[in-house]
């Protein structure tokens, strides 16, 4: 049997395709963002380290958020820029911040005032510091309690019987100075302190702080810095 002629089949050569790893794509936005954060963190840390060093070298340099604290046990101590006021009769002295206004009224009362941001002229005080000191003559020998009761009754006549906050007159001791205090529901407080056998110091606090300026705390610190000579 004769062999048949067969046409050879051409085979197409196959190519081996090699998958190369993808080239890394750089996210320049992320790189820039991380770089900026790093600069901010380093800069902030350097600033606070320098600030701490400055404060440690200068103990009188107040920080922005520093608060003044007058301890009742050391009323005459000068804290930061607080100043010392001494009465003209040299009976008492106290500490006060320099941004308050000091006035002497016709009846001899010494007032310390500072307006708050919402206070307006020619109106009653509703925003600000108002602390007054008045020496009362007690040559007729009334007891301190009697004088406090008289002041309380005068307050009732002015504002009404319901204005007094219970329990009414209470004992108080400011730096060893004995006395009495009563408070009202309109935000005032009246202190009656014994200066001597013939002199009594009346302190009236009518401070209001609707915008949270720290006036209430400052007024109380002024009062609790009183010391008698």
Please tell me which residue, 31 or 91, carries the higher pLDDT value.
Answer: 91
pLDDT at 17 over 90: no
What's the pLDDT score for residue 165? 92
* Stretch (H or E) spanning 151: helix 144-159
Strands 128-137 and 227-228: unpaired
Please tell me which residue, 50 or 101, carries the higher pLDDT value.
Answer: 101
Q: 76 with 228: CB under 8 angstroms?
A: no
Q: Which fold has domain 83-228?
A: Protein Transport Mog1p; Chain A (3.40.1000)
The domain limits of the chain are 26-61, 83-228
pLDDT at 26 over 50: no
pLDDT at 101 over 60: yes
> Residue 211 is encoded by which pair of tokens?
């915008």
Q: What is the mean pLDDT of residues 147-152?
A: 96
Residue 214 β-bridge partners:
none
Q: What is the mean pLDDT of residues 25-39?
A: 53
Q: What is the pLDDT of residues 180-204, one digit of tens each?
A: 999 999 999 999 999 888 999 999 9
Q: 155 falls in which pLDDT band (50, 70, 90)?
A: very high
Q: 175 falls in which pLDDT band (50, 70, 90)?
A: very high
pLDDT at 177 over 80: yes
Distance of alpha carbon 202 from alpha carbon 210, whole angstroms: 25
Q: What is the mean pLDDT of residues 148-171?
A: 93
Distance of alpha carbon 48 from alpha carbon 144, whole angstroms: 54
What's the pLDDT score for residue 34? 55
What's the pLDDT score for residue 52? 42
């Amino acid at each position: 049997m004769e062999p048949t002629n067969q046409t050879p089949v051409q085979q197409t050569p196959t190519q081996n395709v090699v998958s190369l790893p993808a080239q890394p794509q750089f996210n320049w936005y992320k790189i820039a963002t991380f770089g900026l954060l790093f600069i901010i963190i380093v800069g902030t840390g350097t600033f606070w380290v320098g600030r701490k060093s400055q404060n440690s070298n200068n103990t009188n340099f107040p920080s922005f958020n520093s608060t003044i604290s007058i301890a009742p046990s050391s009323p005459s101590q000068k804290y930061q820029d607080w100043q010392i006021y001494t009465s003209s009769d040299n009976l008492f002295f106290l500490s006060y911040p320099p941004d308050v206004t000091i006035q002497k009224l016709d009846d001899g009362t010494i007032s310390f005032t500072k307006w708050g941001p919402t206070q307006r002229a020619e109106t009653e005080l509703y925003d600000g510091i108002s602390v007054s000191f008045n020496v009362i003559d007690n040559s007729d020998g009334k007891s301190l309690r009697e004088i406090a009761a008289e002041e309380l009754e005068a307050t009732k006549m002015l504002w009404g019987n319901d204005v007094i906050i219970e329990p009414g007159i209470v004992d108080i001791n400011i730096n060893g100075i004995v006395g009495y205090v009563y408070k009202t529901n309109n935000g005032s407080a009246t202190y009656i302190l014994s200066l001597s056998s013939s002199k009594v110091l009346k302190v009236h606090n009518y401070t209001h702080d609707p915008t949270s300026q720290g006036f209430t705390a400052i007024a109380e610190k002024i009062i609790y810095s009183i010391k008698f000579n």
